[in-house]
């Protein structure tokens, strides 16, 4: 292993000796920097940095060929690589890791989906998002090569395709979740979604009925021929339950003596069991439902098929149109129930407990206070001040127009 001061002029005179497959010429100016010449390619050499990794094993990091780099350029690159090694880097190990990093599609198929299918009820929605949007863009790219710029471009491209801002943000959250799992499992080290700004458009829809609108709806629910679906909607209005909770309800979950409806963890959005108190209206609805169906298992049975109801969307659209409420959604029954609770003077804590919210911040969305209720609350304070005489002492009294005649 001859040592020589490598230069552009010197390497033109070097060659691989006859009978040898290859030879290394070590640079005397920078230890570890060397030129390898092979008998199979005598005119072009390969420049390397030889170093020892943290285990003391000798490694070679290829810098380039003499056709690509001059000796000064290669020596400068060797110094940069060696500086990184001294700070803890291992170029060879990093290359092996990059080679072993799966593509986005492979990671999703082999690691992500098997993990979420047993932990996430909405995994089928993830599959739809992945197949329709993410895999065509990121599928063939190794996880560690997906950049923040690519994620930003993808996020904005979704919006340009016509997706709602909230849908774009939801995909961004799913993408971030996938990368966070990859970090947790030590597949990659950084999440390219981190720092990407959401559109954050508030698209929360809340529809509260006036008393006149509620009366119209109740009239339709009391007179329509599809009584079972009407009973489902009435139960939603009287309990604040979610539609899925009602359609999956079983008689074994109902305890009439204690007036409680137990929502199993499997049917609950929070994946935790909870209890819904049953008021008089809810008990009457359940009693009528039992008299009509007398099912031993599920509560709501289809009048047409005799099987448990799984959806009521079409019938509900007809009912709400008949009531003149085409924009009123089934989930708005839950908003309406919360509104009735708050407007009747119940505390937000009580509403939170009944609706099963883990955080009071969520309950604030449902806590619709009518102006009439606020006015009544204000009047309660005014009653304590009602006896005060606000006429200044020694001031002459003169007739004035009532306030409502002068203002407004």
Nearest to 29 by CA among 62, 76, 80: 76
Q: Look at residues 328, 345, 371 and tell me which one is the last residue of a structural domain.
A: 328
Residue 363 has pLDDT above 50, yes or no: yes
Both 95 and 10 in one domain: the answer is yes
Q: What is the pLDDT of residue 70?
A: 93
| pLDDT band, very low/low/confident/very high, at 328 (cuts 50, 70, 90) | very high
Q: Are 151 and 141 in contact (CB under 8 A)?
A: no
Both 217 and 298 in one domain: the answer is yes
**Which CATH number belongs to the domain containing residue 44 in this structure?**
3.30.160.390
Both 29 and 73 in one domain: the answer is yes
Q: Average pLDDT in the 100-120 region?
A: 92
Share of the chain above pLDDT 70, in %: 87
Q: What is the pLDDT of residue 356?
A: 82
Q: What is the pLDDT of residue 403?
A: 47
Of the two residues 334 and 363, the one the predictor is more confident about is: 334
| pLDDT band, very low/low/confident/very high, at 91 (cuts 50, 70, 90) | confident
Domain that holds residue 291: 213-328
Q: Using CA atoms, how far apart are residues 51 and 59, in angstroms rounded to an integer?
A: 5
Both 145 and 52 in one domain: the answer is no
Q: What is the pLDDT of residue 223?
A: 95
Domain-embedded: residue 40 = yes
Q: Average pLDDT in the 218-246 region?
A: 95
Domain-embedded: residue 350 = no
Domain-embedded: residue 406 = no
Q: What is the pLDDT of residue 359?
A: 76
How far apart, in Å, do the first and last CA atoms of the chain sit?
100
pLDDT in tens, 176-199: 999 999 999 989 989 999 999 998
Domain-embedded: residue 198 = no
Nearest to 319 by CA among 311, 329, 331: 329
Domain-embedded: residue 393 = no
Residue 35 has pLDDT above 60, yes or no: yes
Domain-embedded: residue 348 = no
Q: What is the pLDDT of residue 69?
A: 92
Both 132 and 149 in one domain: the answer is yes
Q: Using CA atoms, how far apart are residues 297 and 295, in angstroms rounded to an integer?
A: 5
Q: Look at residues 99, 122, 144 and tell me which one is the last residue of a structural domain.
A: 99
Both 45 and 113 in one domain: the answer is no
In the chain, count of helices (H) and strands (E)? 19, 8
- Sequence-separated (6 or more) residues with CB below 8 Å from residue 107: 143, 178, 182, 187
The total domain count for the chain is 3
pLDDT in tens, 372-404: 666 777 777 777 666 555 555 555 555 555 545
Its pTM stands at 0.54
Domain-embedded: residue 206 = no
Q: Report the range of poorest mean pLDDT among 233-242, 309-318, 384-393.
A: 384-393
Q: What is the pLDDT of residue 407?
A: 47
Share of the chain above pLDDT 90, in %: 55
pLDDT in tens, 125-164: 999 999 999 999 999 999 989 999 999 999 999 999 999 8
Q: Average pLDDT in the 271-278 region?
A: 89
Q: Using CA atoms, how far apart are residues 217 and 328, in angstroms rounded to an integer?
A: 10
């Amino acid at each position: 292993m001859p040592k020589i001061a490598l230069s552009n002029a010197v390497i033109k005179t070097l060659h691989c000796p006859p009978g040898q497959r290859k030879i290394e010429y070590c640079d005397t100016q920078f230890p570890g920097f060397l030129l390898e010449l092979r008998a199979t390619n005598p005119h072009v050499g390969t420049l390397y940095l030889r170093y020892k990794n943290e285990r003391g094993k000798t490694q070679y990091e290829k810098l380039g060929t003499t056709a690509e780099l001059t000796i000064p350029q290669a020596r400068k690159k060797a110094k940069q690589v060696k500086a990184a090694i001294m700070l803890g880097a291992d170029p060879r190990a990093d290359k092996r890791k990059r080679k072993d990093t799966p593509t986005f599609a492979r990671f999703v198929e082999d690691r992500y989906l098997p993990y979420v299918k047993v932990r996430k009820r909405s995994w089928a929605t993830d599959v739809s998002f992945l197949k329709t949007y993410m895999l065509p863009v990121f599928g063939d790219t190794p996880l560690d090569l997906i950049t923040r710029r690519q994620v930003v471009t993808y996020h904005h491209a979704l919006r340009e395709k016509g997706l709602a801002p909230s849908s774009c943000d939801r995909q961004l959250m799913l993408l971030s979740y996938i990368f966070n799992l990859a970090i947790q499992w030590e597949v990659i080290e950084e999440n390219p979604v981190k720092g990407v700004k959401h559109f954050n458009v508030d698209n929360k829809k809340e529809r509260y009925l006036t008393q006149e609108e509620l009366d119209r709806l109740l009239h339709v629910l009391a007179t329509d021929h599809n009584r079972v679906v009407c009973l489902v909607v009435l139960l939603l209005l009287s309990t604040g339950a979610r539609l899925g909770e009602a359609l999956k309800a079983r008689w074994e979950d109902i305890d009439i003596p204690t007036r409680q409806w137990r929502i199993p963890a499997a049917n609950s959005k929070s994946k935790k069991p909870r209890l819904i108190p049953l008021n008089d209206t809810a008990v009457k609805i359940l009693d009528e439902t039992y008299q009509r169906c007398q099912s031993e298992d599920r509560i709501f049975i289809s009048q047409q098929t005799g099987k448990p109801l799984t959806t009521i969307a079409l019938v509900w659209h007809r009912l709400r149109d008949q009531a003149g409420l085409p924009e009123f959604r089934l989930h708005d029954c839950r908003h309406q129930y919360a509104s009735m609770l708050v407007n009747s003077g119940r505390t937000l804590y009580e509403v939170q407990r009944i609706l099963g919210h883990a955080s009071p911040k969520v309950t604030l969305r449902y806590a619709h206070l009518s102006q009439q209720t606020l006015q009544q609350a204000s009047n309660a304070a005014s009653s304590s001040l009602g006896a005060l005489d606000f006429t200044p002492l020694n001031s002459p009294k003169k007739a004035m127009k009532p306030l409502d005649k002068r203002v407004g």
